Structure 1
């Protein structure tokens, strides 16, 4: 899979850009703040319908405008598709496939697959569980695009059920409130069981790739492992070596219904939903200790990198090689981690790399770079691709 053409309009610092790309490596070179990462962010948005830097879409729209547009022509196994997304302030985003509108933006998911490694990934190890849940769900959706609808339905039901819990918890609980809550329990369990089944399957499939990737990056460190952490699932389901079963979804639905019933009184008292995948976590282990709080800075970087390399290899094993996005990461890595990442990137069908200076790009990934520059002042700065020649990158860290 590779992107043949990328276009952005009024996205972040870019008023307009049209890039012709090809398989292999593309290096975007420029000082920090010039807009390199904004292009990587645009590509990632087409793949996930989200930004790796902000939770909302509003900051993605260029100041002084009301809408932004991102488009790409994607080639996958000889088949070419055009995908476009329009972000609009105050209204739902719109998307097109081959210039034809689709009912929901999420219908474009799966056309472009990417794996992004960025400095923000350190939060996968050191951040809150929400960072790791997002990692799991985005990777699950990359493997099974229809899961985006399940995630959206689960979030909707969770909000409505939580609102009912707050209302019922503040007043005399009528039979109507409780029977309505029973209905929402059923809806929540239905969507949660599908999401949980895919998360557990993903942890099972990702586990060997993660262990191998971490070993190659930090052979002197303790072995790395992952697991699924949940306070309501039985231990046999949480074993990463367990083979998923065909009836897992129904089994998980039964568990959810039982646990929701058990937690009903506590949930009403507190006015929050205490059971479900929105409270779970991806467990990261070094030896027998949790990586969060026990890993050194170097080990944390190694674990974050291993998660991304494992994701890349897992998606590649499914028959479609994702586009690899490397956003200003080589300057953060030591020689061994740079080498491990460069080896994977050198074999990727397409890799987009951003760097502040040529020396940050390993020699194995050297390419004639595109210089990203800005003009204007303060909030009115506009990014563009410069025409000035740039010297070839050299590996100054070897």
Structure 2
């Protein structure tokens, strides 16, 4: 899989850009703040319908514009598809496949698969559980694009059920309220069971890749392992060595209904939903200790890198060839970690790399760079592709 052409309009710092790309390595070179990462972010958005830097879409629209557009021509096993997304301030986004509108933006998911490694990935190890849940769900959706609809339905039901819990908790808890809550319990359990089954299947399949990737990056460190952590699922379902079974979804549905019923009194008292995949976590272990709070800075970087490399290897093992996005990461890594990442990147069909200076890119990944610079002043600066001289190392943070 590779991107043949990428176009952006009014996206972040870019008024417009059109890039002709090809398989192999592409290096975007320029000083910090000039807009390199914005292009990587645009590619990632087409793959996941989300940004790795912000939770909302509004910051992605260039200041003064009312909408932004991202488009790409994606070639996969000889077949080319054009995918476009229009981000609209104050209204729903729109998407197209081969210039034809689709009903929901999420219908484009699966056309472009990417694996992104960025400095923000340190939060996978040191951040809150929401970072790791997002990692799981995006990778699950890359493997099974229809899961995007399940996630959207689960989030919608969760919001409505939570609103009812707050109302019923403040009032007299009428029979009608409790009856309505029974209905929402059923909807929540239905969607949660599918999401949980895919998460557990992913942890089982990802487990050996994480262990191997971490061992190749930090052979002197304690062994790495991952497990799914949940306060309501039985231990036998959480064992990462356990393969997914056909009966998992009905079983998980039954467990969810039982646990929701058991937690109802506490939920009404607190006005929040206490049971479900929105409260779970992916536990990262080094030896027998959790990586969060116990891993050194170097071990945390190694773990974050191992998670991304494991994701890449898992998708490849399943027949995909995702585009690898490396956003200003080589400057953050020591020689061993740079080498491990470069070895994987060298075998990828297409790699997009950003760097402040050419020296940050390992020699085996070097390519004629596309230089990125800005014009204009203050908050009206606009990113451009051109032939501006590359910055010197001492000028990076000036």
Give yes or no for the alignment of 1:326 onto 2:331: no
Q: Which runs of 5+ in 2 are unaligned?
A: 394-398
CA contact (8 A) 1:369 1:390 kept: no
Partner of 2:103, secondary structure, is coil
Partner of 1:80, secondary structure, is strand
Aligned 1:151-170 pairs, distance under 5 A: 151-170=151-170
Partner of 1:342, secondary structure, is helix
Q: Look up the match of 1:87.
A: 87
CA contact (8 A) 2:126 2:292 kept: yes
CA distances 1:179-205 after superposition (whole Å, capped 9, x unpaired)? 000000000000000000000000000
Aligned 1:224-243 pairs, distance under 5 A: 224-243=224-243
Shift of 1:387: 2.4
CA contact (8 A) 1:2 1:349 kept: yes
Q: Tell me, in whole angstroms, the C-alpha distance in 1 between the residues paired with 2:307 and 2:224.
A: 10
Q: Look up the match of 2:299.
A: 299
Q: Look up the match of 1:396.
A: none
Give yes or no for the alignment of 1:18 onto 2:4: no
Partner of 2:32, secondary structure, is coil
Shift of 1:318: 1.1
Partner of 1:263, secondary structure, is helix
CA distances 1:144-181 after superposition (whole Å, capped 9, x unpaired)? 00000000000000000000000000010111000000
Q: Look up the match of 2:138.
A: 138
CA contact (8 A) 1:114 1:323 kept: yes
Runs of 4+ displaced beyond 2 Å: 387-391
Q: Tell me, in whole angstroms, the C-alpha distance in 2 between the residues paired with 1:263 and 1:8.
A: 48
Give yes or no for the alignment of 1:289 onto 2:289: yes
Give yes or no for the alignment of 1:204 onto 2:204: yes
CA distances 1:310-358 after superposition (whole Å, capped 9, x unpaired)? 0000011111100000000000000000000000000000000000001
Q: Tell me, in whole angstroms, the C-alpha distance in 1 between the residues paired with 2:386 and 2:243.
A: 52
Give yes or no for the alignment of 1:78 onto 2:114: no
Give yes or no for the alignment of 1:38 onto 2:38: yes
TM-score where L is the length of structure 2? 0.98
Give yes or no for the alignment of 1:258 onto 2:258: yes
CA contact (8 A) 2:211 2:225 kept: yes
Q: Tell me, in whole angstroms, the C-alpha distance in 2 between the residues paired with 1:318 and 1:46.
A: 21
Aligned 1:120-135 pairs, distance under 5 A: 120-135=120-135
TM-score where L is the length of structure 1? 0.98
Give yes or no for the alignment of 1:108 onto 2:100: no
Partner of 2:62, secondary structure, is coil
How many residues end up aligned between the 2 structures? Answer: 392
Partner of 1:54, secondary structure, is coil
CA contact (8 A) 2:371 2:385 kept: yes
Give yes or no for the alignment of 1:150 onto 2:150: yes
CA contact (8 A) 2:373 2:388 kept: no
Q: Tell me, in whole angstroms, the C-alpha distance in 1 between the residues paired with 2:174 and 2:138.
A: 39
Shift of 1:390: 5.8
CA contact (8 A) 1:121 1:304 kept: yes
Q: Look up the match of 2:49.
A: 49
Give yes or no for the alignment of 1:175 onto 2:175: yes
Q: Tell me, in whole angstroms, the C-alpha distance in 1 between the residues paired with 2:244 and 2:85.
A: 35
Q: Tell me, in whole angstroms, the C-alpha distance in 1 between the residues paired with 2:249 and 2:107.
A: 24
Q: Tell me, in whole angstroms, the C-alpha distance in 2 between the residues paired with 1:160 and 1:227.
A: 30
Q: Tell me, in whole angstroms, the C-alpha distance in 1 between the residues paired with 2:11 and 2:243.
A: 44
CA contact (8 A) 1:224 1:285 kept: yes
Partner of 2:283, secondary structure, is strand
Q: Look up the match of 2:274.
A: 274
Q: Which runs of 5+ in 1 are unaligned?
A: 394-398
Partner of 1:135, secondary structure, is helix
CA contact (8 A) 2:30 2:390 kept: no
CA contact (8 A) 1:326 1:354 kept: yes
CA contact (8 A) 2:372 2:388 kept: no
